[in-house]
Structure 1
């Protein structure tokens, strides 16, 4: 009996050590898992590093956003184990380091930030731009009396490990250019057909005019709404209280996320204008 109990304790100790080693990597895996679909019919490889996650644009954006948050937090808190876990084993480039490893990146950042106080990294998520697995986002870095505004280009592999991270000086766009970013035709696609259309028909410095139409979609077919929204910032706009349907617009270059306030009378109860509208190329 005593011998059996000793073996049981030994197994528990081994299990505990194994869990401790995996904790840093688990944070990023949890971030990815929380943004992925829970469809049980999806097939997955046994090795998470080789798995090509099947994600839609909204999920991809959420995963990348959370990884950037972890990156900024890990440097600010000098948690270099967490920083290391965000990169692939082999990294093409990180700052001036080329063909390097995640371990070397962690060591270099530990050396670079040694002795520095009040470290802050703030990412401007409203300015993030995503194309395939490449993310461009401004990151503002500061410590004590130092400040730097950078534009980071981050390339991920299919398992959302960072394989390249380069920076250049961030140059703020002119206000006129930002207003123009709203212009265009946008669409929500679903299945084999386009489900909803959004067009920004006119723009000024303070407001935009728009039209929305629901396509072939059962009882909602052909539902249309035209209105005016006040531009609140470079990336936000909102309809006025007088509109039949009060809604907010969040702009992220090639996409507009539209959210309704409950009580919209411009469509049937079962219908909705909400969703992520992607800009049409032509």
Structure 2
């Protein structure tokens, strides 16, 4: 047994430290600025510092200084060893006895079956980035994927610059609409194989666990809606976002999903989220 396991479990037993850990897990493999962590969790800076210090001492979180900013990320190897201990030791090497029968534990050597995959893209407003992702995947996927998008706080209307870009790229926008994430969380919702957050704010927010063995990843990128300037400058920002998402979608659709085990597939989608040159470290 790894000597730090009891310390890690004790550290995660504190609700606020667990909240920091869970947020960083949702943002993995991003390094998140301390100011953003504090704001997302409603914590004072000195309080957050106490919590992340405890997580670092337990070996669960790493710290990096970028200029004057401190940034934090999950140490996935340490987190994985801790979870592995719980499943293999505490559950006597039988993870199925520690989970509900309706939600079996994912197995690393169990590839996803070859079928049509349901994919959901989430951002806050569901008016630009997630709409781009939904439209691009729908047109690239053929009959392999069913693409959806939703927002944690959806806007009443889609962004006009986003719609214009989609029209220029030849996408059918007639059926697009902003949707609330709740549409995909009820008993009648389609089972989701993949869930991707495409904005940091949405990833920072609490979201109920998805049913089944959904693979999720964070593909955050800057919000083109926030770009100031002339209409031409704003349009350029939307075109750049569209291009970055199309690159990611091209990589995603090229994955041999049916032949990859879940661990390899999770690693692959995480890497796609970090492959975009336009992705800033802010």
TM-score (norm 1): 0.26
TM-score (norm 2): 0.26
Higher strand proportion: 1
Which entry has the higher C-alpha Rg, 1 or 2? 1
